[in-house]
Amino acid sequence: MTDIVEIRRSDDPRDVIHRVCEALAQGELVGLPTETTYIVVASALSEPGVAKLKALAASTADSSNPAAAQLPRYELLLKAAEEALDYLVEQSRYGRKLIRRCWPGPVTLRFPGKHCGWFFNKLPAPTRDILHHRDGAVSFRVPAHTLPADILSLLPGPLVALAEVQPQPVPMRLATDISQAYGPSLTLIVDDGPSRYGEPGTVIEIGDHDWKIAHAGVVSDRTMGRLASEVILFACTGNTCRSPMAEVLFRKLLSEKLACPEEELVDHGFVVLSAGLAAAIGAPANPEAIALLSEEGLDLRNHESQPLTERLLQQVDMIYTMTRGHRDAILAERPDLASRVRTLSAVGKDIADPIGGGREIYRDCKQTIETHLQQIIQDLLSIRSQPS
């Protein structure tokens, strides 16, 4: 009989986690909560566990639904987005950014099998075999629920889960749902109350040069479009003058180039931001910058400064700094971002802070910024039209 353990009522949740790890190591199947639904998992390193998972999938397959046979049956669960770098190589531009932005979260990413690297190839052959879908793709996921991550942190390898997209008689929102559907096959089910969403996550298929929604889920098409957008950030010191000017000028120039209103840039795949390395939160733009850009119908009155945080650094695709000093300061903390941080000037010439100067100093600064932005847009659209 399947044992259902309510982790919130346990004296020590760590005891439950250790019990799950022991069951998985012994080749048993376990039911776990995620933010989307409850799922059935086996240890990716346990051939007996994987064999049981395969048998369970076969016993619950809907032979009357041909469409279901086209869907992936299994996915590999990782504990963190960073771990994907161990299992995947040669990711496309979209693959890299969606790993950063979607995980942890209710999104499964399907990669071509040729992108699976050394760590994946060291998994047992039965595990690799069931993970490769009929089209050769492999599905990966990093759940946002903390319990799978806690369990994975104690295991020597990842987990294999039955994919949520398979048709079910009822949504697996509760521990009792998964017990009714799979109970006799599971040794243990961890009950953490109702899952947050109560429906499957979104499945994204990553191509060499594009992406598409393979199976709709809790993350909408529009949200996925934003997650796949090119996020560009301009950085200076206080985010009250140079970088805000660069942000609004870039929006204007890019929307003109794309022949669309500025508010539709996100629908064309672009998100434009600015921040400061030493910025306060919520400071207004410099009055001289506001007055200067208002002459061109550009409004900086609602600008509020923001610091360049670790979260922003993780999410952006490209950062353009006003000086070499700004770039060096960012790379001193995050040398891994060298390919994503550049000076606004292609030749590395500093754009001096105009604060304290007269109107002509501000005007010169604005014109210099605009000249560099035009070149950046030209290069950006050229690169974007090319394969990853």
Catalytic residue among 102, 116, 236, 241: 236
Please name the amino acid found at residue 70.
Q
- Asked if 188 and 6 count as a contact pair (C-beta separation under 8 A), the reply is no
Of the candidates 278, 296, 276, 283, the residue with the CA atom closest to the CA atom of residue 362: 296
Of the candidates 226, 231, 201, the residue with the CA atom closest to the CA atom of residue 211: 226
Of the candidates 286, 161, 187, the residue with the CA atom closest to the CA atom of residue 236: 286
H/E element holding 277? none
By 3-state DSSP, what share of the chain in percent is helix, strand and coil, each rounded to 5?
A: 45, 20, 40
Please name the amino acid found at residue 361.
I
3-state secondary structure of 137: strand
CA atoms within 13 A on the CB side of 116: 20
Catalytic residue among 73, 101, 110, 242: 242
> Parallel, antiparallel, or unpaired: how do β-strands 107-112 and 137-141 relate?
antiparallel
Over the Cα atoms of the chain, what is R_g?
25
Task: Output DSSP code: residue 216.
Answer: -
Residue 100: active-site member? no
Q: Which residues contact 114 (CB under 8 A, 6 or more apart)?
A: 90, 136
Task: Output DSSP code: residue 235.
Answer: E
Nearest 5°: phi and psi at 377?
-65, -40
End-to-end CA distance of the chain: 51
Residue 242: active-site member? yes
Residue 236: active-site member? yes
Buried b (16+ CB within 10 A) or exposed e, 282-308: eeebbebbbebbeeeebebeebebbeb
Catalytic residue among 177, 191, 317, 353: 353
Of the candidates 190, 162, 187, the residue with the CA atom closest to the CA atom of residue 176: 190
- Asked if 276 and 240 count as a contact pair (C-beta separation under 8 A), the reply is yes
Cα–chain center distance at 193: 26
Q: CA-to-CA distance for 155 and 161, rounded, in angstroms?
A: 15
Catalytic residues: 236, 242, 353
